[in-house]
A and B are shown apart, each in its own frame.
Chain A
Amino acid sequence: MSILVIAEHNNLDLHKPTLNTVTAALALGDDVDILVAGANCGKVAEQAAQIAKIRKVLLADHAAYEHQLAENVAKLIATVGKSYSHILAPAGTQGKNTLPRVAALLDVDQLSDVIRIDSPDTFARPIYAGNAIATVQSSAAIKVMTIRATNFDAVATNGNAPIETLDDTFSTSNATFIKEEIAESDRPELTVADVVISGGRGMASGENFEMLYTLADKLNAAVGASRAAVDAGFVPNDMQVGQTGKIVAPNLYIAVGISGAIQHLAGMKDSKVIVAINKDEEAPIFQVADYGLVADLFEVVPQLENLV
């Protein structure tokens, strides 16, 4: 077994899901290499070299890889990855964008969002938005997989692996980068936040979400919403947590004015601790909540803000 882990990064910092993915890789075998592809990303390679128990870091530093264009990066990964038994990437948007392209170039089936490793060829992954868990055995020559980081611990970063530079350059003229707009929020991002506060139809308006933002800032939380709140036009679609929105699994999920439709539960029920605040005590959300508070949210959210 030799495993290639694709680092997720922004050319400046190694993103944490890479550390969780290395833990998954170490469950497959001892020979784990990390590929850092980017531009002027030497700092990322140095951070990756500190990951414990890895064999080496492969650094492909070229302008063609600056924005992680799948057309270029997939060819690099497929070329480098040919000699490995497994190719793993965190199941963020970078990995999801690139890895299927790698798998097709290598003519192998891919596994997405792996949450458990049973053996080097048998894995568990959620299907139907986590309403069922499939155990899948792969006979593919190279196992290409994205890893759901929230299901694996982060590996330690007290190592000192060698960095090897790669010269392979793949550059296409078919796709060019125009711009990137990263939301300038001090709040953490929904899918990686430790605490998520979501509002539902019970919030009654978009303005009332201000209450949740204020509370979120005190808890260093991200703010999400149910599909009902999105459909009602309270908040934009990218805040939606649920089967057709974002899947989250924070340490603490606070559902405010959310009834708990199946479609919403599918996106948050893997959270460690769930709090539900709803004035309807029959709301299905209480069936999955660790702590339920039957109350008017407009009274208790400000109280909560004062107490935390």
Chain B
Amino acid sequence: MKVLVAVKRVIDYNVKVRVKPDHSDVDLNNVKMAINPFCEIAVEEAVRLKEKGVASEIIVVSIGPKEAQEQIRTALALGADRGLLIQTEEMPSSLGVAKLLKAVVDEEQPQLIILGKQSIDTDNNQTGQMLAALTDYPQGAFASSVEVEGDHINVAREIDGGLQTLKLSLPAVITADLRLNEPRYASLPNIMKAKRKPLDTKTPADLGVTLNNTLKTVKVEPPAERQAGIKVASVEELVDKLKNEAKVI
């Protein structure tokens, strides 16, 4: 079974985000970039399916600037077989990304498509569900476990307050939540090997997709700063403040 995994190049999750002085966007100059943590979990899940003999080939696709090749190489080092970069300088909206992925799905005909549930930059949590709508495939969003059984999968999904398990017929779209797995570290030999794996580059035009982002960012501001409060000397003082000053207990 062919598995398609989508990965996104984002700011490393350990980096403190700063807003540009002109409030046009966050400052990404000279900032460490990495594979989106949820996308990494998606790649790991695909690799595990391959190790179990369920997946036969893993194709990893990224949409973004030329540098997103680095994140595709990371995924290849984790165990994906070949990469595809859809190169675009302007980042499309989630719907635009879903349309590009739909075009890739049409070409590659994977049985399973795994994405991260959201990227930690735009925090949209939309692309997987949108791709499922465009392909008319069933969706297992926020997956915490995936079991392939013949022509269908059982997906446990994280929902408010617990888990919901669904049976989806293949092909299907999965979005990975935190609990799905813990991604491995790529070994040095695998990193070297990844450099020789095939990586193709296409443009949105090659795929016949016209992008039209109807969302315009007017400004980006830092959130209201929290002022450090006071230190209390004892538990008694703390409880008194919470009861009588903050009135929260």
Task: Say which one of A28-36, A40-48, A69-77, A155-163 lies at the interface with B.
Answer: A69-77
The reply on B53 being an interface residue by CB < 8 A is no
Chain B interface helix/strand/loop/mixed = mixed
- Partner pick for A252 among B120, B164, B168, B246, CB 8 A cutoff: B246
A108 contacts which of B95, B163, B219, B223 (Cβ < 8 Å)? B95
- The reply to whether B139 and A71 form a contact with Cβ atoms under 8 Å apart is yes
Q: What separation, in Å, do the CA atoms of A97 and B141 have in the docked complex?
A: 6
Is B165's CB under 8 angstroms from A292's CB?
no
Mark B200-243 against chain A: 1 for CB-CB distance below 8 A, else 0: 00000000000001111111111100101111101110110110
The answer, yes or no, to whether A104 is at the interface (CB within 8 Å) is yes
B47 within 8 A of A: no
Task: Verify B160–A92 contact, CB threshold 8 A.
Answer: yes
Residues of A within 8 A of B167 (CB): 175-178
With A93-B142, A109-B93 as given contacts, are A128 and B26 in contact (CB-CB < 8 Å)? yes
Bound-state Cα–Cα, A109 to B97, Å: 11
Cα A237 to Cα B179 in complex, Å, equals 6
Interface status of A195 (Cβ within 8 A of chain B): yes
CB pair A132 B223 closer than 8 Å? yes
Please give the distance in Å from B165's CB to the nearest CB on chain A.
4
Residues of A within 8 A of B158 (CB): 93, 238
Residue pair A112, B124 in contact (C-beta under 8 Å): yes
A131 CB–B CB distance under 8 Å: yes
Size of chain A's interface in residues, with CB distance under 8 A? Answer: 91
In the complex, A294→B134 CA distance in Å? 54
The A-contacting residues of B in range 120-165, CB under 8 angstroms, are 120-134, 137-139, 141-142, 154, 157-165
Bound-complex Cα distance A67 to B169 (A): 17
B16 located at the interface, meaning its Cβ lies under 8 Å from any Cβ of chain A in the complex: yes
User: Across the interface, do A263 and B228 meet the contact criterion of CB distance under 8 Å?
Assistant: no
Cα-based distance from A102 to B94 in the complex (angstroms): 13
Closest chain-A Cβ to B166's Cβ sits at a distance in Å of 6
Given contacts A139-B216, A263-B13, contact A132 B141 (CB under 8 A): no
A22 close to chain B: CB less than 8 A: no
Nearest-neighbor residue (CB-CB) of A245 within chain B: B178
- The answer to whether A244 touches B160 (Cβ under 8 A) is no
User: In the complex, A69 Cα to B141 Cα: how many Å?
Assistant: 11
Asked if A273 contacts B246 (CB within 8 A), the reply is yes
Residues in chain B near residue A172, CB distance under 8 A: 138
Interface flags for A270-306 (1: CB within 8 Å of B; 0: not) read 1011110000010000111111111100001001100
Pairwise interchain contact A135-B221, C-beta atoms closer than 8 A? yes
Contact across chains for B160 and A307 when beta carbons are under 8 A apart: no
A94–B159 Cα distance when bound, in Å, is: 8
B188 CB within 8 Å of chain A: no
Which of A55-63, A81-89, A181-189, A201-209 participates in binding chain B? Answer: A181-189
Instruction: Give the A-binding residues of B (Cβ under 8 A).
Output: 11, 13-14, 16-17, 19, 26, 37-38, 93-95, 98, 120-134, 137-139, 141-142, 154, 157-169, 172, 178-179, 213-223, 226, 228-232, 234-236, 238-239, 241-242, 246, 248-249
15 residue pairs of the A-B complex, CB under 8 angstroms, read: A101-B139, A109-B95, A112-B126, A132-B26, A133-B223, A136-B217, A138-B214, A174-B137, A174-B138, A175-B138, A189-B160, A269-B223, A273-B246, A289-B228, A308-B249
6 additional A-B pairs beyond A104-B130, A133-B221, beta carbons within 8 Å, are: A70-B129, A74-B133, A94-B160, A110-B130, A112-B126, A122-B218
